[in-house]
Amino acid sequence: MKIKQFHIKKNQMKSWTEIFKNPCPVTIETFVTGTVDINRRGTINTEHPDAGYIKDEILTVPIKNYVVRHNELGEFLLDAGLDKLYTDDPKGGINGDLADEFYQNRNDNIKFQLESRKIKPRAVYLSHLHPDHIAGIRELPKNIPYFVGKGELEQYQTEKEGDFLDGVETIYEIDFLELDEINPLGYCADLLGDGSLWAVSTPGHSMGHCSYLINGMDGSIFLTMDACFIMDNLRLKIAPSDYTWDVGMAQNSLDRILKFLEAFPEIKVICGHE
């Protein structure tokens, strides 16, 4: 696998107000490729001073990814979800005690869903490299470009992630520090060059975690990915703590998202596992 830096041309628009005045012919479709059981007390950082009492209960939440359709540039995948090995094996064929368990109904795997809709993504943009976001790569084309925030490959754990990246020809790293900040979100990358699809640097859940913004004709949509597991993260203004690399950094990313949503309340927001 070749690792290359993704050289992105800086967008000339310097504010979200200007960007939203120039919507693009782009839409998204959500796919659910399985579910995972998580504890509410991990979706909310119970050590946060404003957390109060968080109920100890198991939540069964969806594993989601998205297809972005651009009328002129084609179709793109945001995260890869799960492949079909999870239908009969919650560990997806990954051996060892560290392997995460996910659950999947037959024909919910990413390849089946894409092929049944005749979708052929031109590229895959990954929010991060945790298994529920990349396992589907095993049954996706390997000769299309894959993109990830810089720092993710440093954290890639083969004992948990196994062979999920095996066969990928080229993965491109996005170095957000080479780009301009668009406040209040901070460092952002104009992925397709026309202001339609943005990657937003939201580290904390993982080192190079990305959220995404779709600037469509029917309104803009902010996909938090795992910067917010569920809507309670936004309601309580507290970031998750489970599966999180740096809880303090995750809270900083959430704070920036909250400021953005306060400034632009018309933006639709979709959390990573709800």
pLDDT digits (tens, 9 = 90+) for 191-202: 999 999 999 999
Q: What is the pLDDT of residue 159?
A: 63
Average pLDDT, stretch 177-193?
A: 95
In this predicted structure, the answer to whether residue 162 has a pLDDT above a threshold of 90 is no
Task: Specify the higher pLDDT residue, 12 or 75.
Answer: 75
Output the average pLDDT for the chain: 95
Which residues lie below 8 Å from residue 236, measured CB to CB, with a gap of 6+? 44, 50, 51
In this predicted structure, the answer to whether residue 99 has a pLDDT above a threshold of 90 is no
CA distances from 44 to 60, 130, 272 (A): 15, 19, 14
Domain of residue 33, CATH code: 3.60.15.10
pTM score of the predicted model? 0.96
Number of domains in the chain: 1
HSE, CB side, 13 Å, CA atoms: give it for residue 63.
28
Q: What is the pLDDT of residue 30?
A: 97
Tens digit of pLDDT for each residue in 213-269? 999 999 999 999 999 999 999 999 999 999 999 999 999 999 999 999 999 999 999
Q: For the residues of 133-146, what is the DSSP string, one character each?
A: HHGGGGGS-SSS-E
Q: What is the pLDDT of residue 96?
A: 77
Query: At 68, which amino acid appears?
Result: V
Give residue 250's domain range: 2-271
Q: Which three-class secondary structure state does DSSP give residue 132? A: helix
Which residues lie below 8 Å from residue 88, measured CB to CB, with a gap of 6+? none
Q: What is the pLDDT of residue 160?
A: 60
Which residues lie below 8 Å from residue 51, measured CB to CB, with a gap of 6+? 44, 45, 236, 238
